Amino acid sequence: MKTLRPSVLKKIHSLKSEKGKMVAVEPTTGKWFIGVTRVEAIKKGLEEFPDGIFHIMRIGYKVSGVMKSEKFTE
């Protein structure tokens, strides 16, 4: 998968009025789609890029979320 160009990242993170929303970025074109949730942003992206693979980010943050798992014991 392609990495995002620094110029695209800078533009996305400069969208102060959209801080906290999710963005799906199509890496080949750098085009992005904003949604309140990851699913909403991806659905918008898939309308234009039906076979697309997207980078998901939270605008204005270094991470989009945290996943935790419970310890598995047998």
Domain boundaries, the chain: 6-58
What tens digit of pLDDT does each residue of 22-50 get? 999 998 999 999 999 999 999 999 999 99
The torsion angles phi and psi of 35, rounded to 5 degrees, stand at -145, 165
The torsion angles phi and psi of 54, rounded to 5 degrees, stand at -125, 150
Reference 65, options 30, 16, 11, 22; nearest CA is 22
Reference 57, options 30, 29, 21; nearest CA is 21
- pLDDT higher than 70, residue 70: no
- pLDDT higher than 70, residue 74: no
What tens digit of pLDDT does each residue of 43-59 get? 999 999 999 999 899 99
What tens digit of pLDDT does each residue of 11-25 get? 888 888 999 999 999
Cα–Cα distance, 3 to 55 (Å, whole number): 9
pTM over 0.75: yes
